[in-house]
Amino acid sequence: MSEKVFQLIPKVQNYAWGKYGSDSKVAELISNAYPEIEIDEKNKYAELWMGTHPNGPSIKRSTGESLKNILLTDPELLTTEIASKYNGDLPFLFKVLSIRKALSIQAHPDKKLAEYLYQNFPDKYKDDNHKPEMAIALTPFEGLCGFRPLSNIKKNLNDYPEIKDVIGQETIKEFMETIDDTNSPNLMDYERNKNALKKLYKSLMEQDHTIIKTQLDKLINRISSTNPNPKKGTLDELLIRIESQYPGDVGLFSIFLLNYVSLKPGESLYLAANEPHAYISGDCIECMATSDNVVRAGLTPKFKDVETLVDMLTYTCKSADNQIVTGDPYLQSNTTILYNPPIEEFSILCTELSPEIIKTETFEGIKGPSIILITEGHGRIIYNEKIFDACKGSIFFIGANTQITLEAVDSKTIFYRAYAELSKFH
Protein backbone atom coordinates (compact mmCIF):
# COMPACT_ATOMS: atom_id res chain seq x y z
CA MET A 1 0.00 0.00 0.00
CA SER A 2 1.29 3.47 -0.90
CA GLU A 3 2.09 6.19 1.57
CA LYS A 4 -0.86 8.51 2.15
CA VAL A 5 1.19 11.70 2.55
CA PHE A 6 4.38 12.53 0.67
CA GLN A 7 6.27 15.49 -0.73
CA LEU A 8 6.14 16.32 -4.44
CA ILE A 9 8.60 18.01 -6.78
CA PRO A 10 6.63 20.32 -9.11
CA LYS A 11 7.28 21.24 -12.73
CA VAL A 12 8.46 24.78 -13.53
CA GLN A 13 7.33 26.38 -16.81
CA ASN A 14 9.48 29.18 -18.25
CA TYR A 15 7.05 30.98 -20.57
CA ALA A 16 7.79 34.32 -22.22
CA TRP A 17 5.26 36.26 -20.12
CA GLY A 18 6.71 35.15 -16.78
CA LYS A 19 8.58 37.28 -14.25
CA TYR A 20 12.37 37.25 -14.18
CA GLY A 21 14.28 35.29 -11.55
CA SER A 22 13.59 36.13 -7.93
CA ASP A 23 10.99 38.76 -8.90
CA SER A 24 8.75 35.75 -9.59
CA LYS A 25 6.65 34.18 -6.83
CA VAL A 26 7.19 30.88 -8.65
CA ALA A 27 10.96 31.19 -8.29
CA GLU A 28 10.68 32.51 -4.73
CA LEU A 29 8.68 29.47 -3.62
CA ILE A 30 10.71 26.75 -5.32
CA SER A 31 14.09 28.22 -4.39
CA ASN A 32 13.10 28.17 -0.72
CA ALA A 33 11.88 24.56 -0.65
CA TYR A 34 13.80 22.91 -3.50
CA PRO A 35 17.43 24.10 -3.52
CA GLU A 36 18.17 21.45 -6.16
CA ILE A 37 16.19 23.58 -8.63
CA GLU A 38 18.62 26.34 -9.56
CA ILE A 39 17.21 29.82 -10.24
CA ASP A 40 18.60 31.81 -13.18
CA GLU A 41 17.94 35.53 -12.66
CA LYS A 42 17.91 36.04 -16.43
CA ASN A 43 15.24 33.40 -17.02
CA LYS A 44 11.47 33.87 -16.83
CA TYR A 45 9.53 31.85 -14.25
CA ALA A 46 5.88 31.80 -15.29
CA GLU A 47 4.13 28.76 -13.84
CA LEU A 48 4.51 26.07 -11.21
CA TRP A 49 2.53 22.92 -12.05
CA MET A 50 1.36 20.45 -9.40
CA GLY A 51 -0.48 17.41 -10.68
CA THR A 52 -0.45 14.63 -13.26
CA HIS A 53 -0.78 16.61 -16.51
CA PRO A 54 1.56 14.99 -19.09
CA ASN A 55 3.06 18.37 -20.04
CA GLY A 56 4.34 18.90 -16.49
CA PRO A 57 3.91 15.87 -14.22
CA SER A 58 4.87 16.04 -10.55
CA ILE A 59 7.13 13.40 -9.00
CA LYS A 60 7.53 11.99 -5.51
CA ARG A 61 10.56 13.68 -3.98
CA SER A 62 11.86 10.73 -1.98
CA THR A 63 11.81 8.18 -4.82
CA GLY A 64 11.57 10.03 -8.15
CA GLU A 65 8.39 8.12 -9.09
CA SER A 66 5.80 9.99 -11.13
CA LEU A 67 2.65 10.89 -9.24
CA LYS A 68 0.59 9.48 -12.11
CA ASN A 69 2.20 6.04 -11.78
CA ILE A 70 1.70 6.04 -8.02
CA LEU A 71 -2.00 6.82 -8.47
CA LEU A 72 -2.41 4.14 -11.15
CA THR A 73 -0.81 1.60 -8.81
CA ASP A 74 -2.98 2.56 -5.85
CA PRO A 75 -6.37 3.98 -6.96
CA GLU A 76 -7.51 4.24 -3.32
CA LEU A 77 -5.35 7.38 -3.09
CA LEU A 78 -7.93 8.98 -5.40
CA THR A 79 -10.91 6.80 -4.36
CA THR A 80 -11.97 4.11 -6.78
CA GLU A 81 -14.80 6.34 -8.05
CA ILE A 82 -12.49 9.23 -8.98
CA ALA A 83 -9.86 6.85 -10.37
CA SER A 84 -12.48 5.26 -12.63
CA LYS A 85 -14.05 8.53 -13.77
CA TYR A 86 -10.73 10.28 -14.50
CA ASN A 87 -8.69 7.31 -15.76
CA GLY A 88 -6.31 7.30 -12.82
CA ASP A 89 -5.54 11.04 -13.12
CA LEU A 90 -6.03 13.85 -10.69
CA PRO A 91 -9.18 15.70 -11.80
CA PHE A 92 -7.40 19.05 -11.35
CA LEU A 93 -4.16 20.82 -12.16
CA PHE A 94 -2.89 23.10 -9.37
CA LYS A 95 -0.61 26.03 -10.28
CA VAL A 96 1.17 29.19 -9.22
CA LEU A 97 1.39 31.92 -11.89
CA SER A 98 3.79 34.89 -11.97
CA ILE A 99 2.77 37.36 -14.68
CA ARG A 100 4.99 40.15 -15.99
CA LYS A 101 3.34 40.55 -19.38
CA ALA A 102 -0.37 40.20 -20.21
CA LEU A 103 -1.58 36.76 -21.24
CA SER A 104 -3.74 36.27 -24.31
CA ILE A 105 -7.42 37.16 -24.47
CA GLN A 106 -8.97 33.72 -24.40
CA ALA A 107 -11.82 31.50 -23.35
CA HIS A 108 -12.02 27.83 -22.47
CA PRO A 109 -14.54 25.55 -24.19
CA ASP A 110 -17.25 23.68 -22.33
CA LYS A 111 -17.13 19.87 -22.40
CA LYS A 112 -19.26 19.46 -25.54
CA LEU A 113 -17.24 22.01 -27.53
CA ALA A 114 -13.94 20.59 -26.23
CA GLU A 115 -14.91 17.15 -27.53
CA TYR A 116 -15.81 18.62 -30.94
CA LEU A 117 -12.60 20.64 -31.23
CA TYR A 118 -10.42 17.70 -30.20
CA GLN A 119 -12.13 15.38 -32.67
CA ASN A 120 -11.91 17.80 -35.60
CA PHE A 121 -8.74 19.81 -34.87
CA PRO A 122 -6.45 17.59 -32.76
CA ASP A 123 -3.38 19.49 -33.96
CA LYS A 124 -4.71 22.67 -32.28
CA TYR A 125 -6.73 21.24 -29.36
CA LYS A 126 -4.88 18.48 -27.54
CA ASP A 127 -7.59 16.96 -25.33
CA ASP A 128 -11.37 16.68 -25.08
CA ASN A 129 -11.87 18.11 -21.60
CA HIS A 130 -13.33 21.42 -20.45
CA LYS A 131 -11.16 23.82 -18.45
CA PRO A 132 -13.02 25.84 -15.83
CA GLU A 133 -10.49 27.57 -13.61
CA MET A 134 -10.10 29.74 -10.53
CA ALA A 135 -7.39 32.29 -9.71
CA ILE A 136 -6.68 33.47 -6.15
CA ALA A 137 -4.40 36.51 -5.82
CA LEU A 138 -1.15 36.08 -3.87
CA THR A 139 -0.03 39.63 -4.67
CA PRO A 140 -2.00 42.57 -6.15
CA PHE A 141 -3.39 41.05 -9.34
CA GLU A 142 -4.95 42.48 -12.53
CA GLY A 143 -7.09 40.84 -15.15
CA LEU A 144 -9.85 41.20 -17.71
CA CYS A 145 -12.91 39.05 -17.07
CA GLY A 146 -16.28 38.89 -18.85
CA PHE A 147 -18.09 41.60 -20.76
CA ARG A 148 -18.75 44.95 -19.10
CA PRO A 149 -22.33 46.10 -18.46
CA LEU A 150 -23.87 47.37 -21.71
CA SER A 151 -24.13 50.94 -20.41
CA ASN A 152 -20.39 50.91 -19.73
CA ILE A 153 -19.63 49.56 -23.19
CA LYS A 154 -21.78 52.31 -24.76
CA LYS A 155 -19.86 54.96 -22.80
CA ASN A 156 -16.49 53.60 -23.91
CA LEU A 157 -17.59 53.51 -27.55
CA ASN A 158 -18.58 57.18 -27.31
CA ASP A 159 -15.46 58.25 -25.38
CA TYR A 160 -12.97 56.54 -27.72
CA PRO A 161 -13.93 57.30 -31.34
CA GLU A 162 -11.04 55.24 -32.72
CA ILE A 163 -12.81 51.99 -31.86
CA LYS A 164 -15.83 53.09 -33.90
CA ASP A 165 -13.64 53.25 -36.99
CA VAL A 166 -12.33 49.76 -36.28
CA ILE A 167 -15.72 48.16 -35.68
CA GLY A 168 -17.47 50.21 -38.37
CA GLN A 169 -19.88 53.11 -37.99
CA GLU A 170 -22.88 51.14 -39.28
CA THR A 171 -22.32 48.29 -36.81
CA ILE A 172 -21.87 50.80 -33.98
CA LYS A 173 -25.08 52.61 -34.95
CA GLU A 174 -27.03 49.35 -35.08
CA PHE A 175 -25.62 48.31 -31.68
CA MET A 176 -26.55 51.63 -30.05
CA GLU A 177 -30.09 51.49 -31.43
CA THR A 178 -30.65 47.83 -30.59
CA ILE A 179 -29.41 47.27 -27.06
CA ASP A 180 -31.48 47.77 -23.95
CA ASP A 181 -29.16 48.37 -20.99
CA THR A 182 -31.89 48.43 -18.33
CA ASN A 183 -31.24 44.78 -17.37
CA SER A 184 -34.74 43.80 -18.46
CA PRO A 185 -35.68 40.27 -17.35
CA ASN A 186 -37.51 39.79 -20.64
CA LEU A 187 -35.94 36.89 -22.54
CA MET A 188 -36.45 38.59 -25.91
CA ASP A 189 -34.56 41.68 -24.67
CA TYR A 190 -31.75 39.47 -23.37
CA GLU A 191 -31.37 37.62 -26.65
CA ARG A 192 -31.50 40.87 -28.65
CA ASN A 193 -28.76 42.40 -26.48
CA LYS A 194 -26.67 39.25 -26.71
CA ASN A 195 -26.90 39.10 -30.51
CA ALA A 196 -26.07 42.80 -30.85
CA LEU A 197 -22.97 42.43 -28.66
CA LYS A 198 -21.90 39.30 -30.55
CA LYS A 199 -22.16 41.15 -33.88
CA LEU A 200 -20.16 44.06 -32.46
CA TYR A 201 -17.40 41.80 -31.12
CA LYS A 202 -17.27 39.74 -34.31
CA SER A 203 -16.85 42.90 -36.40
CA LEU A 204 -14.01 44.02 -34.14
CA MET A 205 -12.14 40.72 -34.06
CA GLU A 206 -12.40 40.11 -37.81
CA GLN A 207 -11.28 43.59 -38.89
CA ASP A 208 -8.36 44.00 -41.31
CA HIS A 209 -5.04 44.33 -39.47
CA THR A 210 -4.05 47.49 -41.35
CA ILE A 211 -7.16 49.31 -40.12
CA ILE A 212 -6.58 48.03 -36.59
CA LYS A 213 -2.98 49.25 -36.54
CA THR A 214 -3.86 52.66 -38.02
CA GLN A 215 -6.59 53.32 -35.46
CA LEU A 216 -4.50 51.95 -32.62
CA ASP A 217 -1.64 54.28 -33.49
CA LYS A 218 -4.09 57.20 -33.56
CA LEU A 219 -5.51 56.17 -30.21
CA ILE A 220 -2.15 55.79 -28.47
CA ASN A 221 -0.85 59.07 -29.90
CA ARG A 222 -3.99 60.89 -28.73
CA ILE A 223 -3.83 59.46 -25.22
CA SER A 224 -0.10 60.12 -24.95
CA SER A 225 -0.57 63.78 -25.80
CA THR A 226 -3.75 64.51 -23.83
CA ASN A 227 -3.12 62.28 -20.80
CA PRO A 228 0.60 61.49 -20.65
CA ASN A 229 0.57 60.18 -17.04
CA PRO A 230 -2.68 58.23 -16.62
CA LYS A 231 -3.56 56.66 -13.28
CA LYS A 232 -2.77 52.95 -13.05
CA GLY A 233 -5.77 50.76 -13.86
CA THR A 234 -7.58 53.37 -15.93
CA LEU A 235 -8.45 52.60 -19.54
CA ASP A 236 -5.80 55.02 -20.81
CA GLU A 237 -3.07 53.49 -18.65
CA LEU A 238 -4.02 49.91 -19.55
CA LEU A 239 -4.02 50.72 -23.27
CA ILE A 240 -0.60 52.36 -23.16
CA ARG A 241 0.93 49.63 -20.99
CA ILE A 242 -0.42 46.64 -22.91
CA GLU A 243 0.19 48.27 -26.32
CA SER A 244 3.88 48.43 -25.39
CA GLN A 245 3.74 44.64 -24.90
CA TYR A 246 1.64 43.80 -27.99
CA PRO A 247 1.90 46.67 -30.49
CA GLY A 248 -0.76 46.65 -33.19
CA ASP A 249 -2.75 43.78 -31.63
CA VAL A 250 -6.54 43.73 -32.07
CA GLY A 251 -6.87 42.43 -28.52
CA LEU A 252 -6.20 45.93 -27.19
CA PHE A 253 -9.62 47.07 -28.34
CA SER A 254 -11.19 44.30 -26.21
CA ILE A 255 -10.20 46.33 -23.15
CA PHE A 256 -13.12 48.67 -23.95
CA LEU A 257 -15.56 45.76 -23.82
CA LEU A 258 -14.26 43.53 -21.00
CA ASN A 259 -14.24 44.19 -17.26
CA TYR A 260 -10.97 45.30 -15.72
CA VAL A 261 -10.59 43.57 -12.35
CA SER A 262 -8.06 44.38 -9.63
CA LEU A 263 -7.72 41.75 -6.89
CA LYS A 264 -6.24 42.07 -3.42
CA PRO A 265 -4.42 39.03 -1.99
CA GLY A 266 -7.01 36.41 -1.06
CA GLU A 267 -9.61 37.62 -3.57
CA SER A 268 -10.37 35.34 -6.50
CA LEU A 269 -11.93 35.01 -9.93
CA TYR A 270 -13.88 31.98 -11.11
CA LEU A 271 -13.62 31.66 -14.89
CA ALA A 272 -16.42 29.50 -16.22
CA ALA A 273 -16.45 27.93 -19.67
CA ASN A 274 -17.05 30.22 -22.66
CA GLU A 275 -16.23 33.47 -20.82
CA PRO A 276 -13.53 35.81 -22.23
CA HIS A 277 -10.66 36.73 -19.95
CA ALA A 278 -7.01 37.68 -19.79
CA TYR A 279 -4.56 37.92 -16.90
CA ILE A 280 -2.58 41.18 -16.96
CA SER A 281 -0.11 41.17 -14.05
CA GLY A 282 0.60 39.77 -10.60
CA ASP A 283 1.03 36.43 -8.87
CA CYS A 284 -1.76 33.98 -8.16
CA ILE A 285 -2.76 30.51 -7.15
CA GLU A 286 -4.64 28.87 -10.01
CA CYS A 287 -6.58 25.63 -10.21
CA MET A 288 -8.34 24.15 -13.21
CA ALA A 289 -9.76 20.97 -14.61
CA THR A 290 -6.95 18.90 -16.10
CA SER A 291 -6.90 20.28 -19.63
CA ASP A 292 -4.85 22.54 -21.85
CA ASN A 293 -7.72 23.73 -24.05
CA VAL A 294 -7.47 27.43 -24.85
CA VAL A 295 -9.24 29.38 -27.62
CA ARG A 296 -7.23 32.57 -28.21
CA ALA A 297 -8.14 35.72 -30.11
CA GLY A 298 -5.79 38.51 -29.07
CA LEU A 299 -2.65 39.65 -27.20
CA THR A 300 -0.70 36.68 -28.44
CA PRO A 301 1.65 35.60 -31.23
CA LYS A 302 0.14 32.10 -30.97
CA PHE A 303 -2.62 30.59 -33.10
CA LYS A 304 -5.83 32.67 -32.95
CA ASP A 305 -9.15 30.96 -33.52
CA VAL A 306 -11.39 34.02 -33.83
CA GLU A 307 -14.32 32.21 -35.42
CA THR A 308 -14.54 29.64 -32.62
CA LEU A 309 -14.11 32.26 -29.90
CA VAL A 310 -16.82 34.57 -31.27
CA ASP A 311 -19.29 31.69 -31.59
CA MET A 312 -18.61 30.10 -28.18
CA LEU A 313 -18.92 33.13 -25.87
CA THR A 314 -22.02 33.59 -23.70
CA TYR A 315 -22.04 37.42 -24.05
CA THR A 316 -23.25 37.74 -20.48
CA CYS A 317 -22.67 41.27 -19.16
CA LYS A 318 -21.88 41.83 -15.46
CA SER A 319 -20.07 44.48 -13.44
CA ALA A 320 -16.46 44.00 -12.36
CA ASP A 321 -17.55 43.55 -8.73
CA ASN A 322 -19.69 40.58 -9.74
CA GLN A 323 -16.62 38.80 -11.09
CA ILE A 324 -14.75 38.80 -7.76
CA VAL A 325 -15.21 35.84 -5.42
CA THR A 326 -14.28 35.72 -1.73
CA GLY A 327 -14.13 32.47 0.17
CA ASP A 328 -16.44 31.29 2.97
CA PRO A 329 -15.46 29.71 6.30
CA TYR A 330 -14.86 25.98 5.88
CA LEU A 331 -17.05 23.93 8.23
CA GLN A 332 -17.29 26.89 10.66
CA SER A 333 -13.50 27.10 10.90
CA ASN A 334 -11.87 30.30 12.17
CA THR A 335 -8.70 29.71 10.20
CA THR A 336 -9.72 28.07 6.91
CA ILE A 337 -11.54 29.62 3.94
CA LEU A 338 -13.22 27.53 1.22
CA TYR A 339 -13.30 28.61 -2.44
CA ASN A 340 -15.96 26.35 -3.91
CA PRO A 341 -16.69 26.74 -7.65
CA PRO A 342 -19.80 25.06 -9.12
CA ILE A 343 -17.89 22.11 -10.60
CA GLU A 344 -16.78 18.74 -9.22
CA GLU A 345 -13.15 18.78 -10.40
CA PHE A 346 -11.77 20.99 -7.64
CA SER A 347 -12.27 23.19 -4.61
CA ILE A 348 -9.58 25.15 -2.75
CA LEU A 349 -8.95 25.63 0.98
CA CYS A 350 -6.76 28.39 2.40
CA THR A 351 -5.63 27.87 6.01
CA GLU A 352 -3.83 30.63 7.93
CA LEU A 353 -2.22 29.65 11.25
CA SER A 354 0.15 31.37 13.67
CA PRO A 355 1.71 30.43 17.02
CA GLU A 356 0.24 33.55 18.66
CA ILE A 357 -3.42 33.02 17.65
CA ILE A 358 -4.37 29.52 16.43
CA LYS A 359 -1.37 27.24 15.93
CA THR A 360 -2.95 24.03 14.62
CA GLU A 361 -6.00 22.76 12.77
CA THR A 362 -7.02 19.15 12.23
CA PHE A 363 -8.92 18.05 9.13
CA GLU A 364 -10.96 14.89 8.83
CA GLY A 365 -10.25 12.92 5.68
CA ILE A 366 -11.50 14.56 2.49
CA LYS A 367 -13.27 12.07 0.20
CA GLY A 368 -10.78 12.62 -2.61
CA PRO A 369 -7.14 13.50 -3.33
CA SER A 370 -5.54 16.82 -2.50
CA ILE A 371 -2.32 18.78 -2.94
CA ILE A 372 -1.07 21.27 -0.35
CA LEU A 373 1.24 24.19 -1.11
CA ILE A 374 2.75 26.38 1.62
CA THR A 375 2.94 29.96 0.33
CA GLU A 376 4.11 31.76 3.46
CA GLY A 377 5.83 30.95 6.76
CA HIS A 378 7.03 27.59 8.05
CA GLY A 379 4.69 24.79 9.03
CA ARG A 380 4.28 21.10 9.66
CA ILE A 381 1.90 18.46 8.33
CA ILE A 382 1.16 15.77 10.91
CA TYR A 383 -0.25 12.41 9.82
CA ASN A 384 -0.49 9.22 11.84
CA GLU A 385 2.28 10.32 14.26
CA LYS A 386 4.54 11.27 11.33
CA ILE A 387 5.66 14.89 11.08
CA PHE A 388 6.50 16.44 7.69
CA ASP A 389 8.47 19.69 7.63
CA ALA A 390 6.50 22.12 5.47
CA CYS A 391 8.57 25.20 4.74
CA LYS A 392 7.43 27.93 2.34
CA GLY A 393 7.26 26.57 -1.19
CA SER A 394 7.00 22.91 -0.22
CA ILE A 395 4.28 20.79 -1.82
CA PHE A 396 2.61 17.63 -0.52
CA PHE A 397 0.16 15.08 -1.87
CA ILE A 398 -2.55 13.91 0.55
CA GLY A 399 -4.42 10.72 -0.28
CA ALA A 400 -8.19 10.42 -0.02
CA ASN A 401 -9.79 9.87 3.40
CA THR A 402 -6.62 10.86 5.25
CA GLN A 403 -6.86 12.83 8.49
CA ILE A 404 -4.10 15.41 8.85
CA THR A 405 -3.16 18.25 11.17
CA LEU A 406 -1.61 21.49 9.89
CA GLU A 407 0.63 23.47 12.23
CA ALA A 408 2.49 26.79 12.18
CA VAL A 409 6.01 26.52 13.60
CA ASP A 410 7.32 29.99 14.35
CA SER A 411 5.39 32.55 12.26
CA LYS A 412 2.18 33.10 10.31
CA THR A 413 1.90 30.20 7.89
CA ILE A 414 -0.47 29.91 4.92
CA PHE A 415 -1.46 26.58 3.38
CA TYR A 416 -3.36 26.35 0.07
CA ARG A 417 -5.00 22.99 -0.55
CA ALA A 418 -6.64 21.96 -3.83
CA TYR A 419 -8.86 18.90 -3.66
CA ALA A 420 -11.49 16.94 -5.57
CA GLU A 421 -14.56 15.38 -3.99
CA LEU A 422 -17.28 13.90 -6.19
CA SER A 423 -19.75 13.97 -3.31
CA LYS A 424 -19.90 17.79 -3.20
CA PHE A 425 -23.01 17.68 -5.41
CA HIS A 426 -24.61 14.59 -3.87
Q: Which residues are catalytic?
A: 296
Contacts of 362 (CB under 8 A, 6+ apart): 403, 404, 405, 406
345-357 exposure pattern, b = at least 16 Cβ within 10 A, e = fewer:
bbbbbbbbbeeee
- The string of DSSP letters for 78-117 reads T-HHHHHHTTTS-SEEEEEEEESSPPPEEE---HHHHHHH
Give the separation between CA 114 and CA 134, rounded to whole angstroms. Answer: 19
Instruction: Report phi then psi at 60, rounded to 5.
Output: -75, 125
- Give the C-alpha separation, 222 to 2, whole Å: 64
Buried b (16+ CB within 10 A) or exposed e, 7-43: bbbbbbbeeebbbebebbbbbbbbbebbeeeebeeee
Residue type, position 214, single letter:
T
Q: What are phi and psi of 401, to 5 degrees?
A: 60, 40
Phi-psi region at 64: left, alpha or beta (left = phi > 0; alpha = psi -120 to 50): left
Distance CA 305, CA 69 (A): 35
Ligand-binding annotation for 133, yes or no, is: yes
Measuring CA to CA, which residue among 44, 50, 56, 38 is closest to residue 7?
50
Whether 277 has a binding-site annotation, put simply, is: yes
CB neighbours of residue 213 within 10 Å? 15
User: SS3 of 200, please?
Assistant: helix
Residues for the chain: how many in total?
426
Q: Is 106 a known ligand-binding residue?
A: yes
DSSP state of 16: T
- Pick the closest to residue 340 from 258, 220, 413, 420 (CA basis): 420
Annotated binding site for Zn(2+): 106, 108, 133, 277
Annotated binding-site residues read: 106, 108, 133, 277
